[in-house]
Chain A
Amino acid sequence: MIRVENLTKRYGRVAAVDDVTFTVPAGSVTGFLGPNGAGKSTVMRMLTGLTPPTSGRATVLGRDYRDLVNPGSRVGVMLDASAQHPGRTGREALTLAALTVGVPRTRVEEVLHLVGLTDDEAGRRVRTYSLGMRQRLGLAGAFLGEPEVLVLDEPANGLDPQGIHWMRTLLRDFADRGGAVLLSSHLLHEVQVVADEIVVIGRGKIVASGSMAELVAGSGSRARSEDDGALAVALEAAGHHATLTPDGVVVDAEPAVVGRAALAAGVVVTDLRPHGAQGLEELFLRLTADDAREVAA
Chain B
Amino acid sequence: MSTATQAPAPLRPEPSVEAASGRPGVPFTRLVRVELRKLVDTRAGRWLGVVTGGIAVVAVVAFLVWGEAADATFEGLLGIATLPLVVLLPVLGIMTATAEWSQRTGLVTFALEPHRGRVVLAKLLAAVVLGLAVVAVSVAAVALAHLVGSLARDVPTAWGVPTGLALGLVLALVVYLVQGVAFGLVFLNTPVAIVASLLLPTVFSIVTSLVDGFERVAAWIDLSRVTEPLTAGTMAGQDWAHLATASLVWLGVPLAVGTWRVVTKEIA
* Residues of chain A having any CB pair with chain B under 8 Å: 1, 3, 25-26, 41, 45, 48-52, 61-63, 65-74, 77, 79-80, 82-88, 92-93, 95-97, 99-102, 141, 146-148, 174, 177-179
| Selected A-B contacts with CB under 8 Å, 15 pairs | A45-B266, A45-B267, A49-B114, A50-B107, A51-B266, A68-B24, A69-B22, A69-B25, A73-B18, A77-B112, A88-B41, A96-B34, A99-B34, A101-B112, A178-B11
State in angstroms the CA–CA spacing of A179 and B8 once bound together. 11
Contact A99 B37 (CB under 8 A): yes
Contact B115 A96 (CB under 8 A): no
B163 on interface, CB distance cutoff 8 Å? no
B33 on interface, CB distance cutoff 8 Å? yes
Shortest Cβ distance from A65 into B: residue: B114
Contact A62 B267 (CB under 8 A): no
User: 3 nearest interchain CB pairs?
Assistant: A178-B10, A49-B114, A83-B104
Task: List, in ascending order, chain A residues with CB within 8 A of B9's CB.
Answer: 26, 148, 178-179
Contact A66 B115 (CB under 8 A): yes
Known: A45-B267, A61-B3, A77-B111. 4 other contacts (CB 8 A): A83-B103, A96-B38, A100-B34, A102-B27
Interface string of B1-12 (1 = CB under 8 A from A): 111001001111
B217 on interface, CB distance cutoff 8 Å? no
Task: List, in ascending order, chain A residues with CB within 8 A of B112's CB.
Answer: 71-72, 77, 97, 100-101
Interface string of B73-111 (1 = CB under 8 A from A): 000000000000000000000000001000111111111
Chain B interface bracket (under 10, 10 to 19, 20 to 34, 35 or more): 35 or more
Contacts known (A51-B267, A102-B27); A179 close to B11, Cβ less than 8 A:
yes
B23 → chain A, closest Cβ, in Å?
Answer: 7
Task: List, in ascending order, chain A residues with CB within 8 A of B105's CB.
Answer: 83-85
Contact B31 A74 (CB under 8 A): no
Binding site secondary structure of chain B = loop
Task: List, in ascending order, chain B residues with CB within 8 A of A92's CB.
Answer: 41
The one of B19, B44, B264 in contact with A74, judged by C-beta atoms closer than 8 angstroms, is: B19
A152 → chain B, closest Cβ, in Å?
Answer: 12
A44 → chain B, closest Cβ, in Å?
Answer: 10
B116 → chain A, closest Cβ, in Å?
Answer: 9
The one of A49, A68, A177 in contact with B11, judged by C-beta atoms closer than 8 angstroms, is: A177
State in angstroms the CA–CA spacing of A79 and B1 once bound together. 24
* Candidate in B1, B16, B43, B106 with the most chain A CB atoms within 10 angstroms: B1
B165 → chain A, closest Cβ, in Å?
Answer: 38
State in angstroms the CA–CA spacing of A25 and B6 once bound together. 11
Contact A45 B268 (CB under 8 A): yes
Contact B266 A50 (CB under 8 A): yes
The one of B30, B42, B106 in contact with A102, judged by C-beta atoms closer than 8 angstroms, is: B30
Contact B268 A148 (CB under 8 A): no
State in angstroms the CA–CA spacing of A50 and B113 once bound together. 10
Interface string of B232-261 (1 = CB under 8 A from A): 000000000000000000000000000000
